[in-house]
A and B are shown apart, each in its own frame.
Chain A
């Protein structure tokens, strides 16, 4: 069974640009989650999508947004990039019911120059 896949592996941008990160969930999983892992800040919840809808959002500014497609894949968009957006962005997927475990991809390393 294929795991959660993320692309690209690395992304280098400059301040003010826009970044798009992509995620394909495990087959059969309808929920997709995005987390930011920044140095010294730990893992912070960004967004949760299920059945194409945004279900919950973490404490991040509106320039962090995303969507989920009919095939349950997802993309995360970050506009007006700032230096502090440099981080590893992790996508996870799970079944929808209850407290199902989340399964993570290997992440996209976003570097802002």
Chain B
């Protein structure tokens, strides 16, 4: 099938801890992969993207590498801040899928001072 699976939350970390949120996908073809972040009461913000195998997307200290061999796109950050507390969504798209994004279920991150 065509789906996106994220690690379950909530994830609770102390400030300056290392963050990994796992994401794996299934797809036919070669989808583009995205991470979005949703702060309370807001819509989704594009955090980073990768369009082909071995691409690394990065933004605001977050990184994710498109791994075709393991069909994964794990999100990492070396040192989280309280302001990173939000829900993170992994998503995939494919031009042949009629434009839609397929989202994972979201992972809630809570960072404590």
Chain A residues within CB distance 8 Å of chain B = 4, 6, 31, 33, 35, 42-43, 45, 48, 50, 55-56, 58, 90, 92, 94, 98-99, 101-107
> Which B residues lie within 8 Å of A94 (CB)?
99
B99 CB contacts on chain A under 8 angstroms? 31, 33, 48, 50, 55-56, 94
Given A98-B95, A99-B51, A104-B36, A33 contacting B100 (CB threshold 8 A): yes
- Chain B's interface size range is 20 to 34
B46 interface hit (Cβ, 8 Å): yes
The 7 closest A-B pairs by CB, nearest first: A56-B98, A99-B32, A45-B100, A104-B44, A104-B43, A106-B43, A43-B103
Of the candidates B43, B93, B101, B105, the one whose C-beta lies within 8 Å of that of A105 is B43
Q: Which of B26-48 contact A (CB under 8 A)?
A: 31-32, 34, 36, 41-46
Nearest residue (CB) in A for B45 is A104
Cα distance, A4 to B42, chains bound together (Å): 12
Chain B, Cβ-Cβ closest to A45: B100
Give B51's nearest chain A residue, CB to CB. Answer: A99
Tell me the bound Cα distance from A2 to B64 in angstroms.
Answer: 27
* B94: interface (CB < 8 Å): yes
**A56 B100 Cβ-Cβ under 8 A:** yes
State in angstroms the CA–CA spacing of A6 and B44 once bound together.
13
- Chain A residue with Cβ nearest B100: A45
| Contact among A50, A90, A98, A99 with B43 in the assembled complex (CB-CB below 8 Å) | A90
Docked Cα-Cα span, A42 to B34, in Å, equals 16
User: Residues 81-94 of chain B: 1 if any A CB is under 8 Å from the residue's CB, otherwise 0?
Assistant: 00000000100011
* B34 and A101 contacting across the interface, CB-CB below 8 Å: yes
- Report the bound CA distance from A96 to B94 in whole Å: 13
